Structure 1
Amino acid sequence: MSLVRFENALFGALTIFLSGILSSDISGHIFEYGLASISVVFLGMGFFAVNDYFDFEIDRANCRTDRPIAQGKIKRKTALYVGVASLILSFLVSLGLNQIVSLLLIFNAVLFFAYSYYLKKIFLVKNIIMAYGFLSMILVGTLVSDYVIEALIFYYAIMGFIVGLAFEIMIDIRDMEGDREFGVQTLPLRTSSGFAASVFVILYVLVMILDPLPYFVNIDSLLYHDFFFLILIMIPVIFYIFISKSLLRDMSKSNVGRLRERTINVMQLGSLAYLFGYLL
């Protein structure tokens, strides 16, 4: 479970359903959304396992206690078998979906494998690919039943990209030691941890502005001037403020590790705010 980061893979699957709800596409297509979610779970599990397979030396250098290969708890070959098997299962399940979604999921599997193998070493490419991962899951969720990308989904996908980009930059601050040793080019290594933290904060300030914007701008009629949605969405916005202040104050490996977990939880809160604001 630690190897495949099942909870993160499951969050990707829930994003599929969330996107289907926000686009009003899920009604009458529960089976297709179930298939898409299963495919995404296997895709996420495969990516995380393969990524750990290629990253075991870097993770060992970074003293990653959350990575079972680096801790010697799982053999590398086992991780590779689990990863490849999960990616194959994701591909097989995706064949039951429409052609666009199936091709998109297959493209993601190939891209994420290439990311784990080499692309992550290229400056900013690793950050952009991971941010794309956030965006693509949202788009997949609206394309399951039709080929229309609604305005709210497009807006939500853009926010997902920004959040993912900032999140990966923050993680790079924690992993500087191992990245430097193994030639992974990241923003904090090219500049400094302080500069990378500032970029993170700038991106999250943008998210703080964008998150409640559907209340003020008529992107979707169900969220426009919905005071309940505004109250809900301000909760993750306030947490983002505290996370940003904490990162600027303390960029140590231990603090970034704690902020990583908090940020994931706040992302989930933001998703729930949109969901409940839309439904209630």
Structure 2
Amino acid sequence: MSIRGYLQILRPVNALVAGIAVLLGVLVAGGEVTPVLFLLVVAVFCITGAGNAVNDYYDREIDAINRPDRPIPSGAVSIRGAAVYSAVLFLFGIACAAFVHPFCFGIACLNSLLLVAYAARLKGVPLAGNIVVSYLAGSIFLFGGAAAGTDGLLLNLPLAGIVFLPMTAREILKDAEDIEGDREGGARTLPMVTGVLTSCRIAAVLAAGAVLLSLLPVVPWWGWWYLGMIALADLVILYAVASAFRCTTSACVRESGATSMLKTGMFAALGVLLFWALIG
């Protein structure tokens, strides 16, 4: 058991990016970033980290095949330790959200339940698990908007969509990469049902939909400068899914690097949105 293992199981970079992204939702809703709203950052960081930990808890047998270097299979974190750790993080994150707004508290509770349900059951349901993960990613903006009430939620719906679509694409591609381990662990994913090629093409359509949505005048700062910047991130996203478009095997998807490139494109798009939210 090690402190490094407990930090690693959080996926701290992803959790921190999610925490910072919630401030974008606050800004889009017209709110001001006050010290109280930083509780939202802590809430999202903790709930995201807890979700990662509980996911590793339920995936420990699959990870022993696909990712033996992860904290539980490698022995850095015990099975019981991961369960207790995730429970504490969930509770602390929900408590932080409760201090900001009732809507934030409600979303925090819902998302925590979905994270556990996904890890325990929904991951094995073709496409349903992918949709849940993508909703959770997009809901970060809804979470920030909720601090401003109903109007804030509505203003953040386009941003949630821009995140939801490429996230679903990436989840499908990740499943295509991990067919062997998932089959060994008893999971049933979309690529197992439709085949790798069809799944990769579904992912490409979803990513293209995200690119189209990002170019439409659905954000307050829409204009030529915004379009030029978001187009660069969109090109990375399109290149990522194009790299795996003809793949028919898991090995091909892994070798294409599509999931890593898609993640890079999504982070770049998030950076553009955050930049314009700050200067707008």
Q: Common fold, TM-score beyond 0.5?
A: yes
Superposition pairs for residues 1-280 of structure 1, below 5 Å?
Answer: 1-25=7-31, 27=32, 29-62=33-66, 64-65=67-68, 67-149=70-152, 152-214=155-217, 219-223=218-222, 226-250=223-247, 251-252=250-251, 254-255=254-255, 258-278=257-277, 279=279
Name the SS for the 1:248 alignment partner.
coil
Q: Which residue of 1 aligns with 2:4?
A: none
Contact 2:200/2:246 (<8 A) preserved: no
Q: Which digits, 9 at most, give the CA deviation of each residue in 1:45-103, with x for residues without a partner?
A: 111111101110011122x1552212333221221221111112112222212111101
Contact 1:13/1:38 (<8 A) preserved: yes
Aligned mates of 1:212, 1:151 — CA distance in 2: 19
Tell which deviates more after alignment, 77-86 or 66-75: 66-75
Q: Between the two proteins, what is the percent identity of the paired residues?
A: 24
Query: Number of aligned pairs?
Result: 270
Distance 1:171 1:91, change over 3 A: same
Aligned mates of 1:66, 1:41 — CA distance in 2: 23
Q: Return the letter of the residue paired with 1:20.
A: V
Aligned mates of 1:255, 1:83 — CA distance in 2: 33
CA RMSD of aligned residues (A): 1.9
TM-score, structure 1 normalization:
0.89
Q: Return the letter of the residue paired with 2:204.
A: V
Tell which deviates more after alignment, 150-159 or 178-187: 150-159
Contact 1:22/1:275 (<8 A) preserved: no
Contact 1:16/1:138 (<8 A) preserved: yes
Name the SS for the 1:222 alignment partner.
coil
TM-score, structure 2 normalization:
0.89
| Structure 1 outlier segments of 4+, above 6 Å | none
Aligned mates of 2:233, 2:39 — CA distance in 1: 30
Contact 1:32/1:145 (<8 A) preserved: no
Unaligned runs of 5+ in 1: none
Unaligned runs of 5+ in 2: 1-6
Q: Which digits, 9 at most, give the CA deviation of each residue in 1:131-168, with x for residues without a partner?
A: 11012111011111332136652111112211221111
